[in-house]
Structure 1
């Protein structure tokens, strides 16, 4: 059901009133909400899987593993660790400042707006919400209009587990609705999606000086060291690329491989594709569909213009938005497949003549959300770490880093800013409030700060001006 535009300000105001009432502050209350989220994911998992199947053709196993189960896991772990995360911290200070009781309080930011995309609608809606709940915020959830069945399901099941005056779903299919949301003042905004919409959201947030996290994407490369096991690299890259039919911001977008190893890599891709999908992926229950007709046309258009050689040609079915994994070799700078993030089951293989050339090609582009490196050579690893920038860097695998919830996940530059991941998501929605509590007994010690200042007082207050600075030579 579409949320009437006229009600959006009232919904925001109701959530803000709830926040100011103090309802969300107690740790036990937040833990209960996290358990409710886990309970909802467990109880409604079949409805969730059905909705994701209708919207995205998402295989049931993939939906259970990558969407439902991980949300249960994150919610449970967050509830368990929340008392530690929320504990007031007392930083180490000089002995003479200890009586002031310096402290860092963990305060919720307030009422948040969470805008999620269509490719992983469950996890990318509720991972941020887990952080907002843990921090003690209220929140509006704005799922994508490209997953109408899932969005409608949220509208139906959320009130069974949560107070709508605390966490509320807003559904829309029109530009004015999202514009109305962005015109309002929020205490925090978390947007996951593409850079075009991100600029609109960031511009709207700037008008209110609203802090935010942008979780975007980009062309995530995979660099293969020529000494690495090419067969294993191919298997792991292809597996990650097949998740959600390649529609994930962390899928390898293109592979940089030594020129004389390119054909060996192609053969390995073909071998493992046959192993994963003996009858092809077109009708496989383990492979998903393209999210929309628009995205299907975009991907096939890019493929139609490539100058590379298609060495694994995926069959397609436009009516069902099905497109099998497709691999193209000898992709060179300026090719259509290097114009934008592919965000689909198409993998470009770019031959290079050296590691330095691979690094230069990566650095010539916007910083990706993740950089994959396949190498057993520590010198190679450290060279890539020190000479590139990316949101994250993963060695010798793809996709699996998402299972390590303790790691920060986020982009840099064009791939976004801010990060998530269990405690990191909690931190995102938490304000650190520095504090001291000056005792009355400190007044004699503080007397030196009051004017008029004698020369002796000035010297005592500016001792750092006379501190010897060690010599440093590069």
Structure 2
């Protein structure tokens, strides 16, 4: 595969100026939406083949979110693309000041395996609506979905506009060795650092959507049964292979027993007495991840679940108790259906746990006490989160989605996707009918005038 030739083709297409035409962008987005509708069952089948993802989850967490993003982009592409007039500075009088949004150029999008359709198509929509060309590198761990993405994109787009490059990490390394105008990466923190380093070689701007140990705090005022139901959904959807899933629970010690009982009830309610035969519970993506997760269970105090089947890549929805910060399960992002439960008695206990990790991608608080929720929100930095639920901040396209610190750089979704893939170019249009001479040398006698004038700014 000749990666430099592919990049050269994308650059040549961008230079034609076609992607800067807003009508062309909208036309492409409409065709993209229609092709996705046509292939909906194929998308469902591909994800079922990948890791037995339930069709309901595929529609709810992949296809419907993509349609939401597409519908908004099609509706707003003209509005977003217009120059924005801003208030001019008195120092530049007379002038009119504007922000122009221009595409970066040729972009690289590297997508992950856990939501292989939605997390590939979402950034593509941003690249298109902003007027860029793009090369998509989907995950090799979900080959059926990657092949389908290549088919859909080839049906809709000129190969110079959007194209798919399939392959393993060697292909990814070849892509990262090229000079792109923008790189958008979704994946793990360690690989994100590799991408960031490669981008720095050419001072290429990036968006990094990463992860971390997202906490779930439950205080003594929370509605425990409701909290348990919402946590079970947020944790075990996609078999826990979600970057914003609750990674661990911190529950007030007075509510631990009640919570554990409620989690037991809600897991059985969702997946039955034997989740392995449930059609609503996905599998681990591959043997490597299965082994990693299984090792986290070695010696752990299992309250519920813990069953595994390597042949089926199955790990039951699992709750761990009597967990300490020194346990293996607390040393890394879990990214699987294992949920440790720790306790706290004071705000200081919460602070001690959260500050032992890097800033997380998400955080969740279950409480009916406004002062506690406000304290948490002001005390800790995290990418985004929810009070009294999990995951749902991802759904609102009016909220930018992204991390902070080690959990990510930049954000996207909705209008923010357009701004992420656009350079905001500032332009001052200066009038010629007046030219105040105070700024020009010689400056003798002008300093006092300048000081008086700046008091009014």
Could you tell me the TM-score, scaled by structure 1's length? 0.93
Aligned residues of 2:364 and 2:388 also touching (Cα < 8 A) = yes
Aligned residues of 1:359 and 1:384 also touching (Cα < 8 A) = no
How far apart, in 2, do the equivalents of 1:370 and 1:344 lie?
16
Number of aligned residues = 457
TM superposition shift of 1:73: 1.5
Aligned residues of 1:363 and 1:389 also touching (Cα < 8 A) = no
How far apart, in 1, do the equivalents of 2:307 and 2:402 lie?
34
Aligned residues of 2:363 and 2:386 also touching (Cα < 8 A) = yes
How far apart, in 1, do the equivalents of 2:25 and 2:451 lie?
47
SS at match of 1:441: coil
Residue 180 of structure 1 pairs with residue 180 of structure 2: no
SS at match of 1:287: coil
TM superposition shift of 1:151: 1.0
Which residue of the other structure, out of 139, 143, 153, is the alignment partner of 2:138?
143
Q: Residue 461 of structure 1 corresponds to which residue in structure 2?
A: 450
Residue 239 of structure 1 pairs with residue 233 of structure 2: yes
TM superposition shift of 1:160: 0.8
TM superposition shift of 1:98: 5.8
Residue 78 of structure 1 pairs with residue 78 of structure 2: no
How far apart, in 1, do the equivalents of 2:44 and 2:395 lie?
20
Aligned residues of 2:88 and 2:95 also touching (Cα < 8 A) = no
Q: Residue 170 of structure 1 corresponds to which residue in structure 2?
A: 165
Give the 5 Å matches for 1:8-47.
Answer: 8-47=3-42
Which residue of the other structure, out of 78, 95, 110, is the alignment partner of 1:100?
95
How far apart, in 1, do the equivalents of 2:18 and 2:336 lie?
43
Could you tell me the TM-score, scaled by structure 2's length? 0.97
Aligned residues of 1:116 and 1:125 also touching (Cα < 8 A) = yes
Residue 347 of structure 1 pairs with residue 347 of structure 2: no
Which residue of the other structure, out of 375, 388, 391, is the alignment partner of 2:380?
388
Q: Residue 60 of structure 1 corresponds to which residue in structure 2?
A: 55
How far apart, in 2, do the equivalents of 1:196 and 1:462 lie?
52
Which residue of the other structure, out of 452, 460, 463, is the alignment partner of 2:442?
452
TM superposition shift of 1:464: 6.9
SS at match of 2:163: strand
Q: Residue 416 of structure 2 corresponds to which residue in structure 1?
A: 424
Which residue of the other structure, out of 328, 337, 340, is the alignment partner of 2:320?
328
Aligned residues of 2:272 and 2:278 also touching (Cα < 8 A) = no
Per-residue CA distance 1:410-469 (angstroms, 9 max, x = gap)? 1111101100111111110011100012222123x2x222222222x233334477x499
How far apart, in 1, do the equivalents of 2:354 and 2:453 lie?
45
Q: Residue 261 of structure 1 corresponds to which residue in structure 2?
A: 255
How far apart, in 2, do the equivalents of 1:31 and 1:12 lie?
24
TM superposition shift of 1:185: 0.5
Which residue of the other structure, out of 392, 402, 416, is the alignment partner of 1:400?
392
Q: Kindly tell me: are residues 435 and 279 of structure 1, through their superposed partners in 2, closer, same or farther at Cα, counting changes over 3 Å?
A: same
TM superposition shift of 1:59: 1.0
Which residue of the other structure, out of 114, 129, 132, is the alignment partner of 1:134?
129
Q: Residue 44 of structure 2 corresponds to which residue in structure 1?
A: 49
**5+ residue gaps in structure 1?**
470-474
Q: Kindly tell me: are residues 170 and 108 of structure 1, through their superposed partners in 2, closer, same or farther at Cα, counting changes over 3 Å?
A: same
How far apart, in 1, do the equivalents of 2:155 and 2:22 lie?
22
How far apart, in 2, do the equivalents of 1:314 and 1:131 lie?
40
Q: Kindly tell me: are residues 279 and 89 of structure 1, through their superposed partners in 2, closer, same or farther at Cα, counting changes over 3 Å?
A: same
Which residue of the other structure, out of 99, 116, 119, is the alignment partner of 2:114?
119
Q: Residue 369 of structure 1 corresponds to which residue in structure 2?
A: 361
Q: Residue 202 of structure 1 corresponds to which residue in structure 2?
A: 196
Residue 193 of structure 1 pairs with residue 187 of structure 2: yes
Q: Kindly tell me: are residues 413 and 464 of structure 1, through their superposed partners in 2, closer, same or farther at Cα, counting changes over 3 Å?
A: farther
SS at match of 1:282: helix
Aligned residues of 2:323 and 2:342 also touching (Cα < 8 A) = yes
**5+ residue gaps in structure 2?**
none
Q: Residue 160 of structure 1 corresponds to which residue in structure 2?
A: 155
Q: Kindly tell me: are residues 255 and 185 of structure 1, through their superposed partners in 2, closer, same or farther at Cα, counting changes over 3 Å?
A: same
